[in-house]
Structure 1
């Protein structure tokens, strides 16, 4: 009688009354994981002939992708084993390139008996991380985006939800808040809206205004709490929203992006947007908010933020705010060169190594919301006492409640 069976990762097969093989594939580490940049999976392959006759076999290996497709990493190798003989490859390495998508893989090691065509296999699983391209915080939610789409979670309890009606792959850039978002995919901009309920979040695709078209979108930005967007498209700035910012409804047109020297990100408020560059600050907005467009003079501006119907910036002249109240009454903390600014609930926040500071009509206070030390951070966002950043370890969150422990494993390198 001939039959295969597997015990604790060690597979046996009876090839005849006199020959018995067993095969084993083991990883050098427990629960192996490959970084987003790619890497090497180190394994040990072992084949034993426990029978009483010689055996001729071919050994080979392959990888099964998360979607079930198969990749053969090496051509079959022919082996001859005498009774009691073993073959061990203790330094076998599988090269996993950065182009492999995120997900769970299985690596298979197989032996094919040339006499009776029986096949015996053993396998291990490993995770491949994906390059994370964005992290966003809005109210009490955070969202991470990698090459396989976007996933959001509640910073209060870690509850997960998908913000888009269906996954979006190969995202070039994304702008997202708790109300919805837009993503650049190729030369197309896809937008959606979200409805939050007590137990779940519903998502709907949202069409762009008919007059808003793109030729080569590169970057996209969104207001923190409003359905207002701006995108950089072929050297131009295009803005739109639910009516207020559609073409023809803009009081002041945006500058030509390609003519700005070292432009910053676009900061968007309720009905106005601004951009900082080497020669100063430019603002534009809907007809309902003309005051933000009247920008004071700034020399060497280093910081900029846009609120509801006001904006604040820092230059050689110090921090100045303009627009409607309460701009003139705000108390700004000392801004360090690397201090980040965001507008959220209920106003302007700044964040650096001192913690988080809220700007208000009262004296500014630092902290107490802090997070672990970051390693080469490249992106940061914060709101409502929560902060999340993207660094060499993936997405790291901190702040109120248990935010640090809510980050999904998907976004940890």
Structure 2
């Protein structure tokens, strides 16, 4: 089963428009399959809009049900952001449900800055809060995304890319909100980290409290002195933030990409070396920390 937009990374303007796509549901088995299918759209805020009631089709062995002229109408009153189109099929005989999807965006025609720091330097920032950025510019494949910007701490210009509740698995997302756990998807992270110089880590006792501890480190230092202490052939690690006794720290620089849930997002700052997520199994300091936010500038 497939659903493929006719344009790569389709974008609709703020005045609205259409996204054209092709879809296919196939039967690769040796018996007739009875399929119910339906589709829906997921909005940037997570709400769902059903496009149709379930329809039924019977497919002979090796038969495909194809539609090459599908389209999604995006009205002007739909908000800006990234949407998902989802096609779902239910096999009445086996009880299996299959899904396929693609993303499209509704964006403003006004060019956006690539980071919170670019916004700050342009003089267009207002205060800490949510801004729209385009991490790879208008010619890049990544959509514009909504990010939280810290425009006041230590000179400001910090882009939030990981919001880690320590007891909650991190899910990759195109929008890392101040109030929700998540980590920036790789396509956005790879562009965002290009040309940046510093990381900021905030550690909290509770999710809505003031930071208990703030740490800053230059990416150039990671590239040089810290990286030199790690040999790719072993599993050495260096504690970066927080307390370090018993090898406990807020972040750990390591050569093992298999460590933390979101280790991969740091790959590329130092080739072959990644950060593990926060690690506080026994530290008395760590037991007072419930979550952390990580920014880049």
Q: Who wins on radius of gyration, i.e. which is larger?
A: 1
Judging by fraction of residues, say which structure has more strand: 1
Judging by fraction of residues, say which structure has more helix: 2
**TM-score for both structures, normalised by structure 1:** 0.30
Greater RCO, 1 or 2 (C-alpha within 8 Å, sep 6+): 2
**TM-score for both structures, normalised by structure 2:** 0.41
